[in-house]
């Protein structure tokens, strides 16, 4: 045990009228929403990197946090794990997520880093024996160290490719050992800055072969979880190969992996790609590759990924509406890939950031579920496309030819007139619930 979170009580649900900062007003794990426990819908996870490894720096300033576990020894790593599980208990979250570099110190060689990882994984496994918090997913940090400045799988140096493959193997082994339900790949440096020194075709083939190796290894070790790719545009590389859901799907199709790999969608990344969070979720669901979400928000006045905790239930309700329409999160979850602000120095700030975010998501989920159960929005959607349910329309789409369709238009005097999309009416309907 540590005393980092001393005097902070276990957070419990007290209802919307509570004035207790250290209480949930809307998140009640056992509340039934559409016949399912709220905890099982939302599947909250804490991100080890932002909550315990991030020092409080930004592109314009250095460390602001002083944590007793900051350091490069195994004792520091174990103290970090102790603090993490204390916070998991305070919040009652069912899951956590990590990169290898978050939980173990960097060694002087790959072998030493691997020994450190295996040792801390054993320690975390021991911690998990006494607490209910499970591993949602693990991943490898293939972007922070200078060796990855030109990418990992897409690097022009085959030794970096090899190092990256060995690192992913180690992280998949760790995830499997801890019972993780997914494994995530985020290509933070898988992109390019200038075409003057880049062979796009070669780098793309390298990335595809790398992912095929990951899928093959998953099956060889009997890992039952889902392999996920997390799309992100522009930052840090100018042109990212995993720009958005549509780009990732095209990549998966090209390498025969569309039935093996799904996507982990982050709100902030969707915004940087010029989309909305709900768009990316809905598109992934329609393509059959929706897996999980990283929950956060961006500062809309900033041009970079600020990873703030969500604070708008109406905005998040649109995301959860699409998740519910898609059938829920399955092996995925709501991972708070979010960090407190650099000026938020107190341990309580870290707890309260998660409390508020969990309440926002709970309110959003309930609003989305109420609208979906009401059915008015889905009825309006069905009415808009009702013409496609007629025998003639189905035949046109299934077996029609341009010649036959043209003949029908002429013989029947078809003269379509525009019909209203009724957007404002549907926005008003949405706002009655959200």
**Are β-strands 44-47 and 334-336 bridged in parallel, bridged antiparallel, or unpaired?**
parallel
Q: What is d(CA 23, CA 15) in angstroms, rounded to the nearest whole number?
A: 8
Read off the tokens for 47.
């991100």
Count Cβ atoms within 10 A of the Cβ of residue 181 and give its class: 0-12 exposed, 13-18 middle, 19 or more buried: buried
Annotated catalytic residue within 13, 99, 176, 279: 99
Q: Backbone phi, then psi, for 48, in 5-degree steps?
A: -60, -35
Task: Assess whether 305 carries a catalytic annotation.
Answer: no
Smallest Cα–Cα separation from 284: which of 267, 269, 298, 264? 264
Residue pair 159/118 in contact by the 8 Å Cβ criterion: no
Question: Is position 99 annotated as part of the catalytic site?
Answer: yes
Instruction: Spell 19-46 as b/e; 16+ CB within 10 A means b.
Output: eeebbbbbbbbebebeeeebbebbbbbb
d(CA 310, CA 306): 11
Distances (CA, A) of 91 to 73, 99, 223, 281, 306: 27, 21, 29, 27, 23
SS3 291: strand
Nearest to 62 by CA among 401, 365, 342: 342
CA separation (Å) from 275 to 267, 278, 281, 283, 298? 9, 8, 10, 11, 13
Considering the candidates 13, 50, 100, 102, report the single residue annotated as catalytic: 102
Q: Is 64 exposed, middle or buried (0-12, 13-18, 19+ CB in 10 A)?
A: middle
C-alpha 133/C-alpha 85 separation (Å) is: 8
Tell me whether strands 261-266 and 226-229 are parallel, antiparallel or unpaired: parallel
Query: Which residues form the catalytic set?
Result: 99, 102
């Amino acid at each position: 045990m540590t005393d980092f979170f001393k005097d902070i009580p276990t957070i419990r649900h007290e209802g919307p009228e509570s004035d207790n900062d250290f209480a949930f007003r809307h998140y009640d794990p056992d509340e039934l929403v559409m016949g399912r426990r709220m905890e099982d819908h939302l599947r909250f996870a804490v991100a080890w990197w932002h909550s315990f490894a991030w020092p409080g720096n930004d592109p314009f300033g250095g460390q602001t946090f002083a944590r007793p576990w900051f350091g490069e020894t195994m004792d520091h790593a174990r103290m970090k794990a102790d603090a993490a599980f204390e916070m998991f208990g305070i919040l009652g979250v069912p899951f956590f997520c990590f990169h290898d570099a978050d939980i173990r110190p960097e060694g002087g060689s790959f072998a030493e880093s691997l020994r450190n990882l295996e040792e801390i994984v054993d320690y975390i496994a021991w911690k998990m024996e006494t607490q209910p918090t499970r591993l949602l997913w693990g991943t490898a940090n293939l972007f922070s160290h200078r060796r990855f400045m030109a990418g990992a799988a897409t690097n022009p140096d085959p030794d970096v490719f090899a190092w990256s493959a060995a690192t992913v193997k180690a992280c998949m082994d760790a995830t499997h050992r801890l019972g993780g339900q997914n494994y995530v790949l985020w290509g933070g440096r898988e992109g390019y800055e200038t075409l003057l020194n880049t062979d796009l075709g070669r780098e793309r083939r390298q990335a595809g072969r790398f992912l095929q190796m990951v899928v093959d290894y998953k099956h060889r070790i009997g890992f039952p979880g889902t392999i996920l790719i997390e799309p992100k545009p522009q930052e840090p590389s100018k042109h990212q190969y995993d720009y958005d859901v549509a780009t990732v799907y095209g990549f998966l199709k090209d390498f025969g992996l569309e039935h093996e790999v799904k996507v982990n969608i982050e709100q902030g990344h969707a915004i940087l790609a010029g989309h909305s969070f709900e768009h990316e979720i809905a598109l992934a669901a329609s393509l059959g590759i929706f897996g999980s979400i990283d929950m956060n928000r961006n500062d809309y006045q900033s041009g970079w990924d600020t990873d703030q905790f969500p604070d708008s239930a109406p905005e998040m309700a649109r995301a959860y509406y699409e998740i519910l329409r898609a059938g829920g999160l399955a092996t995925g979850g709501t991972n708070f890939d979010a960090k407190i602000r650099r000026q938020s120095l107190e341990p309580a700030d870290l707890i309260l950031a998660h409390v508020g975010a969990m309440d926002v998501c709970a309110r959003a989920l309930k609003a989305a579920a109420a609208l979906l159960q009401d059915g008015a929005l889905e009825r309006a959607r069905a009415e808009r496309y009702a013409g496609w349910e007629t025998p003639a329309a189905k035949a046109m789409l299934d077996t029609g030819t341009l010649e036959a369709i043209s003949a029908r238009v002429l013989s029947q005097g078809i003269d379509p007139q525009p019909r209203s999309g009724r957007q404002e009416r549907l926005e008003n309907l949405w706002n009655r619930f959200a």
